[in-house]
Amino acid sequence: MFSEDVIQQFGQQETPFYHYNLALLKKTLSACTQAAARYDFHVHYALKANFNPRVLEMIMQWGIGADCVSGNEVQKAAEVGFDRNKIVFAGVGKSDKEINQAIDLDIFCFNVESIQELTVIDSLAAAKGKKVRVAIRINPNVDAHTHHNITTGLEENKFGINSWELTDCIHVIQECDHVELVGIHFHVGSQITDMTVFKSLCVKVNEIHQWFEEHGFNLKVLNVGGGLGIDYHQPDEQPIADFESYFAVFNQFLERKPGQEVHFELGRALVAQSGNLVSRVLYVKHGIKKNFLILDAGMTELMRPMLYQAYHKIENLSKSESDFDAVKYDVVGPICESTDCFGKEVDLPVSERGDLIAIRTAGAYGEVMASGYNLRDTIRHFYTE
Protein backbone atom coordinates (compact mmCIF):
# COMPACT_ATOMS: atom_id res chain seq x y z
CA MET A 1 0.00 0.00 0.00
CA PHE A 2 1.42 3.38 -1.04
CA SER A 3 0.45 6.67 0.56
CA GLU A 4 -0.75 9.56 -1.59
CA ASP A 5 2.42 11.45 -0.69
CA VAL A 6 4.63 8.62 -1.92
CA ILE A 7 2.63 8.26 -5.14
CA GLN A 8 3.04 12.00 -5.76
CA GLN A 9 6.78 11.61 -5.28
CA PHE A 10 6.78 8.70 -7.72
CA GLY A 11 5.07 10.91 -10.28
CA GLN A 12 7.99 13.34 -10.18
CA GLN A 13 10.55 10.64 -11.03
CA GLU A 14 11.70 9.40 -14.40
CA THR A 15 10.51 5.84 -14.90
CA PRO A 16 11.15 2.98 -14.73
CA PHE A 17 12.82 2.79 -11.33
CA TYR A 18 13.17 0.46 -8.39
CA HIS A 19 11.54 1.74 -5.23
CA TYR A 20 12.96 0.47 -1.94
CA ASN A 21 10.95 0.82 1.24
CA LEU A 22 13.79 0.95 3.76
CA ALA A 23 11.38 1.20 6.71
CA LEU A 24 9.84 -2.16 5.76
CA LEU A 25 13.31 -3.64 5.23
CA LYS A 26 14.26 -2.54 8.74
CA LYS A 27 11.12 -4.15 10.23
CA THR A 28 11.85 -7.36 8.31
CA LEU A 29 15.44 -7.53 9.52
CA SER A 30 14.28 -6.90 13.07
CA ALA A 31 11.71 -9.70 12.87
CA CYS A 32 14.24 -12.13 11.42
CA THR A 33 17.08 -11.43 13.82
CA GLN A 34 14.82 -11.51 16.87
CA ALA A 35 13.29 -14.83 15.84
CA ALA A 36 16.72 -16.34 15.11
CA ALA A 37 18.24 -15.06 18.36
CA ARG A 38 15.62 -16.95 20.35
CA TYR A 39 17.39 -20.19 19.37
CA ASP A 40 20.92 -18.78 18.96
CA PHE A 41 20.73 -19.36 15.19
CA HIS A 42 23.18 -17.68 12.80
CA VAL A 43 21.79 -15.90 9.71
CA HIS A 44 23.68 -15.11 6.50
CA TYR A 45 22.16 -12.91 3.80
CA ALA A 46 22.25 -14.30 0.24
CA LEU A 47 23.71 -11.45 -1.80
CA LYS A 48 22.41 -12.96 -5.02
CA ALA A 49 18.91 -11.79 -4.07
CA ASN A 50 19.79 -8.09 -4.08
CA PHE A 51 23.10 -6.25 -3.84
CA ASN A 52 21.79 -2.70 -4.04
CA PRO A 53 24.29 -0.63 -1.96
CA ARG A 54 21.69 0.92 0.35
CA VAL A 55 20.09 -2.47 0.95
CA LEU A 56 23.43 -4.16 1.68
CA GLU A 57 24.49 -1.40 4.05
CA MET A 58 21.32 -1.75 6.11
CA ILE A 59 21.53 -5.56 6.27
CA MET A 60 25.17 -5.44 7.31
CA GLN A 61 24.32 -3.12 10.22
CA TRP A 62 22.15 -5.86 11.77
CA GLY A 63 25.15 -8.11 12.27
CA ILE A 64 24.01 -10.63 9.68
CA GLY A 65 26.60 -12.63 7.76
CA ALA A 66 26.95 -12.92 3.98
CA ASP A 67 26.22 -15.89 1.72
CA CYS A 68 28.03 -15.44 -1.59
CA VAL A 69 28.01 -17.39 -4.85
CA SER A 70 30.74 -15.59 -6.80
CA GLY A 71 34.13 -14.07 -6.15
CA ASN A 72 32.75 -10.61 -6.81
CA GLU A 73 30.00 -11.16 -4.23
CA VAL A 74 32.66 -12.19 -1.70
CA GLN A 75 34.62 -9.05 -2.54
CA LYS A 76 31.51 -6.87 -2.33
CA ALA A 77 30.55 -8.29 1.07
CA ALA A 78 34.01 -7.55 2.41
CA GLU A 79 34.04 -4.03 0.93
CA VAL A 80 30.62 -3.17 2.37
CA GLY A 81 31.80 -4.20 5.81
CA PHE A 82 30.37 -7.64 6.47
CA ASP A 83 32.43 -9.47 9.09
CA ARG A 84 34.78 -11.72 7.10
CA ASN A 85 34.34 -14.39 9.74
CA LYS A 86 30.66 -14.47 8.75
CA ILE A 87 31.18 -14.73 4.97
CA VAL A 88 30.52 -18.10 3.31
CA PHE A 89 31.24 -18.88 -0.33
CA ALA A 90 29.01 -21.37 -2.16
CA GLY A 91 28.59 -22.09 -5.86
CA VAL A 92 28.86 -25.14 -8.05
CA GLY A 93 31.49 -23.57 -10.36
CA LYS A 94 34.06 -21.58 -8.38
CA SER A 95 37.02 -20.57 -10.53
CA ASP A 96 40.63 -20.70 -9.31
CA LYS A 97 40.70 -16.91 -9.33
CA GLU A 98 37.59 -16.71 -7.15
CA ILE A 99 38.88 -19.34 -4.72
CA ASN A 100 42.23 -17.55 -4.37
CA GLN A 101 40.42 -14.26 -3.79
CA ALA A 102 38.35 -15.76 -0.98
CA ILE A 103 41.38 -17.45 0.58
CA ASP A 104 43.19 -14.11 0.64
CA LEU A 105 40.20 -12.50 2.40
CA ASP A 106 40.24 -15.19 5.12
CA ILE A 107 36.50 -15.81 4.90
CA PHE A 108 34.76 -18.11 7.34
CA CYS A 109 34.03 -21.04 5.07
CA PHE A 110 33.76 -22.48 1.57
CA ASN A 111 30.59 -24.49 0.89
CA VAL A 112 32.09 -27.18 -1.34
CA GLU A 113 29.89 -28.73 -4.01
CA SER A 114 32.02 -31.54 -5.47
CA ILE A 115 34.87 -33.85 -4.52
CA GLN A 116 37.01 -32.37 -7.26
CA GLU A 117 36.45 -28.89 -5.84
CA LEU A 118 37.86 -30.13 -2.51
CA THR A 119 41.14 -31.08 -4.13
CA VAL A 120 41.34 -27.79 -6.02
CA ILE A 121 40.80 -25.73 -2.86
CA ASP A 122 43.37 -27.85 -1.03
CA SER A 123 46.02 -27.30 -3.71
CA LEU A 124 45.38 -23.55 -3.95
CA ALA A 125 45.50 -23.19 -0.17
CA ALA A 126 48.72 -25.19 -0.08
CA ALA A 127 50.32 -22.81 -2.58
CA LYS A 128 49.57 -19.96 -0.18
CA GLY A 129 50.66 -21.88 2.91
CA LYS A 130 47.18 -21.61 4.41
CA LYS A 131 44.56 -23.94 5.81
CA VAL A 132 40.96 -23.06 4.97
CA ARG A 133 37.62 -24.09 6.44
CA VAL A 134 35.11 -25.99 4.31
CA ALA A 135 31.58 -27.32 4.68
CA ILE A 136 30.38 -30.07 2.40
CA ARG A 137 27.20 -29.24 0.52
CA ILE A 138 25.19 -32.43 0.44
CA ASN A 139 22.26 -33.11 -1.81
CA PRO A 140 19.52 -34.38 0.56
CA ASN A 141 17.07 -35.40 -2.20
CA VAL A 142 14.26 -33.42 -0.56
CA ASP A 143 11.55 -32.12 -2.89
CA ALA A 144 10.82 -28.45 -2.16
CA HIS A 145 7.53 -28.60 -4.13
CA THR A 146 8.23 -25.32 -5.91
CA HIS A 147 8.88 -24.40 -9.55
CA HIS A 148 11.32 -26.92 -11.05
CA ASN A 149 13.70 -24.11 -12.04
CA ILE A 150 14.23 -23.08 -8.40
CA THR A 151 14.47 -26.54 -6.84
CA THR A 152 18.05 -27.36 -5.88
CA GLY A 153 17.95 -30.36 -3.53
CA LEU A 154 17.00 -33.28 -5.79
CA GLU A 155 19.41 -35.92 -7.01
CA GLU A 156 19.16 -34.77 -10.63
CA ASN A 157 20.17 -31.19 -9.73
CA LYS A 158 23.69 -29.98 -10.45
CA PHE A 159 24.21 -28.77 -6.89
CA GLY A 160 26.02 -30.50 -4.06
CA ILE A 161 27.51 -33.92 -3.35
CA ASN A 162 25.20 -36.93 -3.44
CA SER A 163 24.89 -39.32 -0.50
CA TRP A 164 26.57 -42.22 -2.31
CA GLU A 165 29.69 -40.06 -2.77
CA LEU A 166 30.18 -39.35 0.94
CA THR A 167 32.58 -42.22 1.64
CA ASP A 168 34.86 -41.10 -1.20
CA CYS A 169 34.45 -37.52 0.01
CA ILE A 170 35.75 -38.19 3.52
CA HIS A 171 38.68 -40.19 2.15
CA VAL A 172 39.68 -37.16 0.08
CA ILE A 173 39.26 -34.84 3.08
CA GLN A 174 41.55 -37.06 5.12
CA GLU A 175 44.19 -36.77 2.40
CA CYS A 176 43.91 -32.96 2.19
CA ASP A 177 46.30 -31.15 4.53
CA HIS A 178 45.09 -27.65 3.80
CA VAL A 179 41.33 -27.92 4.34
CA GLU A 180 39.50 -28.28 7.63
CA LEU A 181 36.01 -29.77 7.58
CA VAL A 182 33.88 -27.63 9.91
CA GLY A 183 30.37 -28.47 8.78
CA ILE A 184 27.79 -29.81 6.38
CA HIS A 185 25.61 -27.63 4.19
CA PHE A 186 22.20 -28.09 2.58
CA HIS A 187 19.83 -26.04 0.41
CA VAL A 188 16.70 -27.60 -1.06
CA GLY A 189 15.20 -24.76 -3.07
CA SER A 190 13.54 -21.38 -3.02
CA GLN A 191 10.13 -19.81 -2.32
CA ILE A 192 9.12 -22.59 0.08
CA THR A 193 6.00 -21.86 2.15
CA ASP A 194 5.19 -25.42 3.24
CA MET A 195 6.97 -25.88 6.58
CA THR A 196 6.78 -29.67 6.26
CA VAL A 197 9.52 -29.37 3.61
CA PHE A 198 11.86 -27.98 6.25
CA LYS A 199 10.82 -30.73 8.68
CA SER A 200 11.79 -33.29 6.01
CA LEU A 201 15.09 -31.49 5.57
CA CYS A 202 15.78 -31.72 9.32
CA VAL A 203 15.22 -35.50 9.22
CA LYS A 204 17.78 -35.82 6.39
CA VAL A 205 20.28 -33.54 8.11
CA ASN A 206 20.00 -35.59 11.29
CA GLU A 207 20.71 -38.81 9.39
CA ILE A 208 23.73 -37.40 7.56
CA HIS A 209 25.04 -35.65 10.68
CA GLN A 210 24.93 -38.98 12.52
CA TRP A 211 26.78 -40.64 9.63
CA PHE A 212 29.62 -38.11 9.92
CA GLU A 213 29.80 -38.61 13.68
CA GLU A 214 30.04 -42.36 13.21
CA HIS A 215 33.01 -41.74 10.91
CA GLY A 216 34.83 -39.64 13.48
CA PHE A 217 33.90 -36.09 12.47
CA ASN A 218 32.68 -33.67 15.14
CA LEU A 219 31.12 -30.90 13.12
CA LYS A 220 30.97 -27.31 14.33
CA VAL A 221 28.32 -26.12 11.85
CA LEU A 222 25.04 -27.41 10.48
CA ASN A 223 24.16 -25.07 7.60
CA VAL A 224 20.57 -25.68 6.47
CA GLY A 225 20.52 -23.04 3.72
CA GLY A 226 17.46 -20.88 3.15
CA GLY A 227 14.44 -21.03 0.87
CA LEU A 228 11.76 -19.45 3.06
CA GLY A 229 9.06 -18.04 0.81
CA ILE A 230 7.00 -14.85 0.93
CA ASP A 231 3.49 -13.81 -0.15
CA TYR A 232 3.58 -12.46 -3.70
CA HIS A 233 -0.21 -12.35 -3.96
CA GLN A 234 -0.96 -10.26 -0.86
CA PRO A 235 2.12 -8.14 -0.20
CA ASP A 236 0.27 -5.62 2.00
CA GLU A 237 -1.47 -8.25 4.12
CA GLN A 238 1.69 -10.36 4.54
CA PRO A 239 4.63 -7.94 4.25
CA ILE A 240 6.97 -9.94 6.52
CA ALA A 241 7.80 -13.62 6.15
CA ASP A 242 6.86 -16.06 8.90
CA PHE A 243 10.27 -16.23 10.54
CA GLU A 244 8.79 -17.43 13.83
CA SER A 245 7.36 -20.64 12.35
CA TYR A 246 10.40 -21.15 10.12
CA PHE A 247 13.01 -21.10 12.88
CA ALA A 248 10.71 -23.00 15.26
CA VAL A 249 10.64 -25.97 12.87
CA PHE A 250 14.43 -26.27 12.95
CA ASN A 251 14.54 -25.80 16.71
CA GLN A 252 12.03 -28.61 17.14
CA PHE A 253 13.27 -31.16 14.61
CA LEU A 254 16.98 -30.51 14.05
CA GLU A 255 19.23 -32.46 16.40
CA ARG A 256 22.28 -30.40 17.38
CA LYS A 257 25.01 -31.07 19.89
CA PRO A 258 25.97 -28.65 22.69
CA GLY A 259 27.97 -25.78 21.25
CA GLN A 260 27.12 -26.70 17.66
CA GLU A 261 26.09 -23.79 15.44
CA VAL A 262 23.10 -23.78 13.10
CA HIS A 263 23.46 -21.45 10.10
CA PHE A 264 20.83 -20.16 7.68
CA GLU A 265 21.17 -18.44 4.30
CA LEU A 266 18.15 -16.22 3.62
CA GLY A 267 17.73 -13.90 0.67
CA ARG A 268 14.24 -13.46 -0.75
CA ALA A 269 12.56 -13.52 2.68
CA LEU A 270 14.63 -10.53 3.82
CA VAL A 271 14.36 -8.20 0.83
CA ALA A 272 11.57 -9.16 -1.60
CA GLN A 273 8.68 -7.20 -0.12
CA SER A 274 10.70 -4.02 0.36
CA GLY A 275 11.25 -3.56 -3.38
CA ASN A 276 8.85 -2.57 -6.16
CA LEU A 277 9.35 -1.79 -9.83
CA VAL A 278 7.54 1.42 -10.80
CA SER A 279 6.77 2.09 -14.45
CA ARG A 280 4.52 4.21 -16.69
CA VAL A 281 2.03 3.24 -19.32
CA LEU A 282 3.41 4.23 -22.71
CA TYR A 283 0.53 2.98 -24.83
CA VAL A 284 -2.82 1.20 -24.53
CA LYS A 285 -3.72 -1.18 -27.33
CA HIS A 286 -7.17 -2.71 -27.78
CA GLY A 287 -7.42 -5.88 -29.82
CA ILE A 288 -10.31 -8.15 -30.68
CA LYS A 289 -9.63 -10.54 -27.81
CA LYS A 290 -6.82 -8.77 -25.95
CA ASN A 291 -6.09 -5.44 -24.35
CA PHE A 292 -2.46 -4.49 -23.86
CA LEU A 293 -0.78 -2.08 -21.47
CA ILE A 294 2.64 -1.32 -22.85
CA LEU A 295 4.98 -0.12 -20.09
CA ASP A 296 8.35 1.61 -20.15
CA ALA A 297 9.73 -1.23 -17.98
CA GLY A 298 10.41 -4.62 -19.48
CA MET A 299 12.27 -7.87 -19.05
CA THR A 300 15.47 -5.86 -18.94
CA GLU A 301 14.34 -4.48 -15.57
CA LEU A 302 12.52 -7.54 -14.16
CA MET A 303 13.26 -10.97 -15.62
CA ARG A 304 11.41 -13.26 -13.18
CA PRO A 305 8.03 -13.45 -14.99
CA MET A 306 9.78 -14.28 -18.26
CA LEU A 307 12.36 -16.64 -16.74
CA TYR A 308 10.07 -18.92 -14.72
CA GLN A 309 6.55 -17.53 -15.06
CA ALA A 310 6.76 -15.84 -11.66
CA TYR A 311 3.71 -13.97 -10.40
CA HIS A 312 3.94 -10.34 -9.26
CA LYS A 313 0.94 -8.31 -8.17
CA ILE A 314 0.42 -5.38 -10.56
CA GLU A 315 -1.30 -2.18 -9.47
CA ASN A 316 -2.31 1.04 -11.20
CA LEU A 317 -1.22 3.76 -8.76
CA SER A 318 -2.86 6.56 -10.75
CA LYS A 319 -6.35 5.24 -10.19
CA SER A 320 -8.18 5.03 -6.87
CA GLU A 321 -10.32 2.09 -5.77
CA SER A 322 -13.44 4.08 -6.65
CA ASP A 323 -12.18 4.18 -10.27
CA PHE A 324 -12.03 0.41 -10.41
CA ASP A 325 -14.12 -0.80 -13.34
CA ALA A 326 -12.11 -3.92 -14.09
CA VAL A 327 -10.59 -4.43 -17.52
CA LYS A 328 -8.34 -7.37 -18.30
CA TYR A 329 -4.97 -6.35 -19.69
CA ASP A 330 -1.86 -8.17 -20.79
CA VAL A 331 0.79 -6.02 -19.12
CA VAL A 332 3.85 -6.02 -21.35
CA GLY A 333 7.14 -4.23 -21.81
CA PRO A 334 8.81 -2.51 -24.76
CA ILE A 335 11.47 -5.14 -25.48
CA CYS A 336 11.59 -6.83 -28.87
CA GLU A 337 10.76 -10.27 -27.47
CA SER A 338 7.33 -11.90 -27.30
CA THR A 339 8.14 -13.19 -23.81
CA ASP A 340 8.40 -9.60 -22.51
CA CYS A 341 5.21 -9.85 -20.46
CA PHE A 342 4.66 -9.21 -16.74
CA GLY A 343 1.18 -10.69 -16.56
CA LYS A 344 -1.69 -11.88 -18.72
CA GLU A 345 -5.38 -11.06 -18.21
CA VAL A 346 -4.59 -8.81 -15.25
CA ASP A 347 -7.63 -7.10 -13.71
CA LEU A 348 -6.94 -3.37 -13.56
CA PRO A 349 -9.02 -0.19 -13.69
CA VAL A 350 -9.38 1.44 -17.10
CA SER A 351 -5.83 2.61 -17.70
CA GLU A 352 -4.39 5.43 -19.76
CA ARG A 353 -1.12 6.61 -21.20
CA GLY A 354 1.00 8.08 -18.42
CA ASP A 355 -0.55 6.07 -15.55
CA LEU A 356 1.90 4.87 -12.91
CA ILE A 357 2.10 1.09 -12.57
CA ALA A 358 3.68 -0.72 -9.62
CA ILE A 359 4.96 -4.27 -9.98
CA ARG A 360 5.08 -5.44 -6.40
CA THR A 361 7.43 -7.65 -4.37
CA ALA A 362 10.36 -7.09 -6.71
CA GLY A 363 13.09 -6.63 -4.12
CA ALA A 364 14.56 -10.10 -4.67
CA TYR A 365 15.94 -11.33 -8.00
CA GLY A 366 14.75 -8.14 -9.66
CA GLU A 367 17.39 -5.47 -10.01
CA VAL A 368 20.18 -8.06 -9.80
CA MET A 369 18.96 -9.76 -12.99
CA ALA A 370 18.63 -6.53 -14.98
CA SER A 371 20.41 -6.35 -18.31
CA GLY A 372 21.40 -3.80 -20.91
CA TYR A 373 19.66 -5.68 -23.72
CA ASN A 374 18.42 -3.26 -26.43
CA LEU A 375 20.93 -0.76 -24.94
CA ARG A 376 18.47 0.03 -22.19
CA ASP A 377 19.22 2.77 -19.64
CA THR A 378 20.86 1.99 -16.34
CA ILE A 379 18.46 1.13 -13.49
CA ARG A 380 17.19 4.10 -11.46
CA HIS A 381 16.32 4.03 -7.76
CA PHE A 382 14.02 5.77 -5.33
CA TYR A 383 14.09 5.21 -1.58
CA THR A 384 11.57 5.88 1.18
CA GLU A 385 12.33 5.51 4.87
Distance between CA 76 and CA 376 in Å, rounded?
25
Same domain, 53 and 128: yes
Report the CATH number at residue 362: 2.40.37.10
Distance between CA 382 and CA 276 in Å, rounded?
10
Q: With CA atoms as reference, report the closest residue to 6 among 19, 15, 17, 24.
A: 19
Q: State residue 159's pLDDT score.
A: 79
Q: How many CB atoms lie within 10 A of CB 175?
A: 11
Tens of pLDDT, residues 156-173:
567 799 989 999 999 999
Q: State residue 163's pLDDT score.
A: 87
**Count of the separate structural domains present in the chain:** 2
Tens of pLDDT, residues 49-86:
999 999 999 999 999 999 999 999 999 999 999 999 99
Instruction: Provide the domain limits for residue 287.
Output: 4-16+273-384
224: pLDDT strictly greater than 70: yes
Report the CATH number at residue 206: 3.20.20.10
Same domain, 68 and 87: yes
Same domain, 188 and 300: no
Strands 87-89 and 65-68: parallel
Same domain, 144 and 209: yes
Same domain, 279 and 240: no
Please report which helix (H) or strand (E) contains residue 362, including its range.
Answer: none
152: pLDDT strictly greater than 60: no
Distance between CA 191 and CA 174 in Å, rounded?
37
Query: Confidence class of residue 326 from pLDDT cuts 50, 70 and 90?
Result: confident
Same domain, 158 and 174: yes
217: pLDDT strictly greater than 60: yes
Query: Confidence class of residue 140 from pLDDT cuts 50, 70 and 90?
Result: confident
Q: State residue 229's pLDDT score.
A: 97
Across the chain, mean pLDDT equals 94
Which of 245, 272, 299 lies at the terminal end of a domain, its last residue?
Answer: 272
Query: Confidence class of residue 143 from pLDDT cuts 50, 70 and 90?
Result: low
pTM given for the model? 0.94
Same domain, 74 and 150: yes
Same domain, 214 and 75: yes
Which of 214, 244, 272 lies at the terminal end of a domain, its last residue?
Answer: 272
Which of 272, 300, 315 lies at the terminal end of a domain, its last residue?
Answer: 272
